[in-house]
Amino acid sequence: MEFFRIRRDIPFMRHALVLNVISALTYAAAVFFIATRGLHLSIEFTGGTVIEVAYPKAADVGKVRETVDALNFGESQVQNFGTSTDVLIRLPVRGDVKQGEVVARVFDALCKAEGSSVATQQLTTDKGESVSKPVCGTLGSEPVVLSRSEFVGPSVGSELARDGAFALLATIAGIMIYLAFRFEWKFSVAGIVANLHDVIIIVGFFAFFQWEFSLAVLAAVLAVLGYSVNESVVIFDRVREAFRKFRKLTPREVIDHAITSTISRTIITHGSTLMMVVSMYLFGGPTLHYFALALMIGILFGIYSSVFVAAAIAMWLGVKREDLVQGGGPTKETDPDDPNAGAVV
Amino acid sequence: MNRYPLWKYAILAIALLVGLVYTLPNLFGEAPAVQVSSGKATLKLGPDMVPRVQQTLAQAGIPADFVQFDGNSVRARFATTDLQIKAKDAIGQALNPDPTDPSYIVALNLVSRSPQALTAVAARPMALGLDLRGGVHFLMQVDMKSALTKKAESLTGDIRTLLRDKNLRHAGITRDGNKVEVRFRDRETLTAAQNLLLDQLPDLQWAEGSDGADLKLTGELKPEAARRVQETAVKQNITTLHNRVNELGVAEPVIQQQGLDRVVVQLPGVQDTAKAKDIIGRTATLEVRLVDDSAEAAAAAAGNGPVPFGTERYVERGGAPLIVKRQVILTGENLTDAQPGFDQQTQEAAVHLTLDARGARIFKDVTRENVGKRMAILLFEKGKGEVVTAPVIRTEIGGGRVQISGRMTTVEANDTALLLRSGSLAAPMEIIEERTIGPSLGAENIAKGFNSVMFGFAAIAAFMCVYYLLFGVFSTLALALNLLLLVAVLSMIQATLTLPGIAAIALTLGMAIDANVLINERVREELRNGASPQTAINNGYERAFATILDSNVTTLIAGVALLAFGSGPVRGFAVVHCLGILTSMFSAVMFSRGLVNLWYGRQKKLKGVSIGQVWKPDGGTTPAQG
């Protein structure tokens, strides 16, 4: 089986200008949405409390919201999580409420709303682990179960946001330095612009749809950054090779050739990774939902951006044979500005 | 050209074997067990507990798979939950004759079902994170400011005592935040005092100044001393937390320092945050009292008479009863440090205590008046007191430096010092992050994580095998080895597996196949350009390698950045991601090449390779061949 039966180089770069304009517009739109709508940050960043409760039957979200609002913990968010029986409650940090007690009080109120009361019970799981937990009503037929709770102090949140920004900057700087060292500054700039484009677009999606931006999503974004730079690296590798092999081709033709000869690998690789990510999206449950979603968007845009954005920017920056191949061009002297002068691969 | 020397095959075989051995323990699951750990800070559990537990079980007629000691607890594994519960009751009755005051904690637990042979080569399963197992997580911030203030306060007292002892008249000592100000009327005293303080209190640095008519010395903790104070504070808090958490009978508590001033506490299996908070927030207190050596007291201790008026009966470490006066001489608040060491004359193991100025003064007076008598150091926990040690007072002890020695082993000296230090928290802590995860949610998360990896892997494997035929099979095997090695490495470093970790495994596998796609595409391309099969294989691998290296380096850069700046779940993700990239370099390149070499390498006149159809633009295709 061979999916890609390409007779001659596809003139990708002929459409580069149009596509780059589209890219620029998408990019601007993403920036616009991030600026205007902002991100729906998870409590890991903002601080606050998250409580996940499970009901035996489909939960009455309205009633839960009323019960929670009656406690006056500030602006709460109540929504279904994964299934109709699970409910997620988010509460902001409030100076006047002791955070440590919020979970117990909310659960208590929810339990009372079901006409029962909370008591701590010692029980042994079927695996033989002994567990003590607050139980609403009688064990086995609880009207509401506390599945998970999380409280993050505001100082932790702001630190995480700062560390996330540092991680992003370190990744960008590291990749740029590596590309500049391995190839040439034009590629380094092109590669990073293309991949930031992916990052901004993922974040733009999260801003537009107001999906929850959590630490896991941040990890996904950074993983995408590293991953889609791969893509550009593979193409740049080929560009260098083609410059060396085909002396008569213009830079534009060289880039077209490089993309054409790697397109099959690009699509198969991304397809494979995408299969894994889709599997995570389908089977990973609500915890991995947005993580997988961010990866999916990142991978799809990664294909596009490395072909049309990275290569095109390298072309606009005027990448030449002399930049990459020692003595390969008409001028036999090495470019004094080329950090890769003399590098042989 | 496509042959590996024997040693390369040997490396591959060893990697495969090591991978298998260290991955295996994860597959056995867990079996019910009973864990016995010490219930009192003063009681140390040793390997001698193993025969006791074995004997108890034999008497009760309960068969155990094994009973073993693992550093600080003894675990016995059972075939069924029924046996486990029976064993818990039997062991509990045998070890704790008085159920209201248990010396040992007997808790239900889970241990790996993996065979002893694997455990013997340190092959243990990965620990499951709270999100996969259920439990409570606390992140606590140690209040460093108050640790420093406490230190400054005790230094202020020390300065006062020092100056008084040397008869240097000062015009007032005050503490302002973490600074200590000492005023003097004349320069002579100031110089003398400065020399004395520099000599006696090396932790402080002094600055001269003037305040109206008075001369002033301002002392401040040296930066390295301040750092030491903070480090000790965190360490002491961790030790204290350990002691307290042990009482909860939690199977595998995690108590770790995070960053400079934070402590993570994870208690698997505990769902009740309120109780957990209550226990870790409790304080233990230390008291120094005198022992009553009168005849009535001796009779009372032996159980032959009533306890004399004004005294109390406590149990000494080792079980002997002791009659101690009610009057408290000193409390733990006066103790600034306790370190194990040796007696300078006898070279016996000893514990060196440092008291603050007030404590030193009281101690001096009390010891002067009670030479030849015994003094008891008691530790109160949960409202119950126990005598840690009861040494005889030999001489008057001044200067606030006390040495406890006599009939102590080095280990005992260490434990006592630790205990005296860890009686209370060095600095208050505040919970800044809290998470509870229900056990059913944890089990669900495991299933979900496992399913994502399994279905994703299956999809990739199916596609690769169909698209690249035999080379696809090799790629799939390489990917499987990658998974195997990754799990093995994670088990070897005893990483804690979390849901983000599983996600990272899935993602890393999805990305790792890239290397094989690159190789296979290159081999096809070489074939398309008319290279002979053997050359095509060789060139395909050689040429793809540079690209694979490049792309893995960029991925690794992102991974390392996450590792450096990430925290909590992101860190877990990053660790797995980085390790996965490294193992993939080995499996995707070297292992798959090994398989290809093994299969095709010996065939001198190779006509074709099974890499799927290679289409040529100049008409005609090379059909797939095996």
Helix or strand run (H / E) with residue A129: none
CA distance A3 to chain B (A): 9
Cβ(B132)–Cβ(B269) under 8 Å?
A: no
DSSP secondary structure letters along B108-132: EEEEE---HHHHHTT--PPEEPHHH
Residue among A316, A315, A340 at smallest CA distance from A328: A340
A264, A165: one domain: yes
In a domain, A24, yes or no: yes
- Residue A124 reports pLDDT greater than 50: yes
* Identity of the residue in B513, B567, B614 whose CB atom sits nearest the CB atom of A160: B567
Instruction: Give the count of beta carbons closer than 10 Å to the beta carbon of residue B1.
Output: 10
Distance in angstroms (rounded) separating the CA atoms of residues B475 and B198: 70
* Identity of the residue in A5, A124, A229 whose CB atom sits nearest the CB atom of B108: A124
A31, A82: one domain: no
DSSP secondary structure letters along A280-303: HHHHSHHHHHHHHHHHHHHHHHHH
Question: Which residues, at least 6 apart from A101, have a Cβ–Cβ distance to it below 8 Å?
Answer: none
Contact B433 A275 (CB under 8 A): no
CB-CB neighbors (< 8 A) of A85 in chain B: none
Convert the pLDDT of each residue in A314-327 to its tens digit.
888 887 777 776 54
A83, A63: one domain: yes
Q: What is the CATH number of the domain that holds A83?
A: 3.30.70.3400
Q: Taking CA atoms, what residue in B is nearest to A237?
A: B547
A245, A296: one domain: yes
Task: Please report which confidence band the pLDDT of residue A92 belongs to, taking 50, 70 and 90 as the band edges.
Answer: confident
CB-CB neighbors (< 8 A) of A286 in chain B: none
Q: Is residue B558 within 8 angstroms of chain A, CB to CB?
A: yes
In the numeric block, the tokens 């020397």 are attached to: B5
Convert the pLDDT of each residue in B505-545 to its tens digit.
999 999 889 899 989 988 988 888 888 888 889 998 998 88
Find how far residue B283's CA is from the centre of its chain.
22
In the numeric block, the tokens 């990019």 are attached to: A27
At B458 the pLDDT is: 95
Q: Give the domain-ending residue among A152, A177, A199.
A: A152
In a domain, A343, yes or no: no
At B13 the pLDDT is: 92
Q: Give the domain-ending residue among A152, A177, A208.
A: A152
Distance in angstroms (rounded) separating the CA atoms of residues B526 and B528: 5
In a domain, A148, yes or no: yes
Query: What range does the domain containing A320 cover?
Result: 12-41+156-324
Convert the pLDDT of each residue in B5-52 to its tens digit.
889 899 999 999 999 999 988 888 778 888 887 766 567 778 888 888
Instruction: Decide whether B30-113 matches B145-225 in CATH topology.
Output: no
Task: Please report which confidence band the pLDDT of residue A333 belongs to, taking 50, 70 and 90 as the band edges.
Answer: very low
Query: A–B: how many Cβ contacts below 8 A?
Result: 284
B 386-415: CB under 8 A from A: none
Q: What is the CATH number of the domain that holds A284?
A: 1.20.1640.10
A191, A207: one domain: yes
Instruction: Give the count of beta carbons closer than 10 Å to the beta carbon of residue A176.
Output: 18
Q: Taking CA atoms, what residue in B is nearest to A4?
A: B615
Cβ(B140)–Cβ(B160) under 8 Å?
A: no
Burial class (CB in 10 A: 0-12, 13-18, 19+), A26: middle
Distance in angstroms (rounded) separating the CA atoms of residues A276 and A269: 11
Of the listed ranges A25-34, B282-291, B588-597, the one predicted with least confidence: B282-291
In a domain, A1, yes or no: no
Instruction: Give the count of beta carbons closer than 10 Å to the beta carbon of residue B376.
Output: 23
Burial class (CB in 10 A: 0-12, 13-18, 19+), B318: exposed
Helices (H), B529-586: 533-565, 569-584
Q: Where are the domains of chain B?
A: 6-22+438-622, 30-113, 145-225, 285-429
A35, A166: one domain: yes
In a domain, A338, yes or no: no
Asked whether this complex has an ipTM greater than 0.90, the answer is: no
| Helix, strand or coil, per DSSP, at residue A105 | helix
B 428-457: CB under 8 A from A: 431-441, 444-445, 448-449, 451-453, 455-457
CATH classification code of B6-22+438-622: 1.20.1640.10
A117, A144: one domain: yes
In a domain, A5, yes or no: no
Contact B437 A218 (CB under 8 A): no
Burial class (CB in 10 A: 0-12, 13-18, 19+), B172: exposed
Does the domain at residues B145-225 carry the CATH identifier 3.40.50? Answer: no
CA distance B542 to chain A (A): 11
The mean pLDDT value for B144-172 works out to 80
Cβ(A163)–Cβ(B565) under 8 Å?
A: yes
A199, A241: one domain: yes
Instruction: Give the count of beta carbons closer than 10 Å to the beta carbon of residue A27.
Output: 18
Q: Which fold has domain B30-113?
A: Alpha-Beta Plaits (3.30.70)
A163, A16: one domain: yes
Distance in angstroms (rounded) separating the CA atoms of residues B310 and B326: 6
Distance in angstroms (rounded) separating the CA atoms of residues A41 and A214: 6
Cα torsion for B374, B380, B386, B387, to the nearest 10°? -20
Distance in angstroms (rounded) separating the CA atoms of residues B431 and A210: 30
A106, A21: one domain: no
Distance in angstroms (rounded) separating the CA atoms of residues B265 and A271: 41
At B506 the pLDDT is: 92
CA distance A246 to chain B (A): 15
Q: Is residue B351 within 8 angstroms of chain A, CB to CB?
A: no
At B463 the pLDDT is: 94
Q: Is residue B251 within 8 angstroms of chain A, CB to CB?
A: yes
Q: Mutation test of the interface with chain B: which of A160, A196, A279, choosing the one with the most B Cβ atoms within 10 A?
A: A279
In a domain, A335, yes or no: no
CA distance B357 to chain A (A): 37
Contact A152 B449 (CB under 8 A): no
CATH architecture label of B285-429? 2-Layer Sandwich (3.30)
Q: Taking CA atoms, what residue in A is nearest to B249?
A: A130
Distance in angstroms (rounded) separating the CA atoms of residues B60 and B82: 14
Q: Is residue B423 within 8 angstroms of chain A, CB to CB?
A: no
- Pair type for strands A145-152 and B127-128: unpaired
A127, A197: one domain: no
| A240: phi then psi, degrees, rounded to nearest 5 | -60, -45
Cβ(B313)–Cβ(B387) under 8 Å?
A: no
A293, A189: one domain: yes
The total number of structural domains that make up chain A? 2
In a domain, A197, yes or no: yes
CB-CB neighbors (< 8 A) of B85 in chain A: 124, 128
Amino acid sitting at position B461 = A
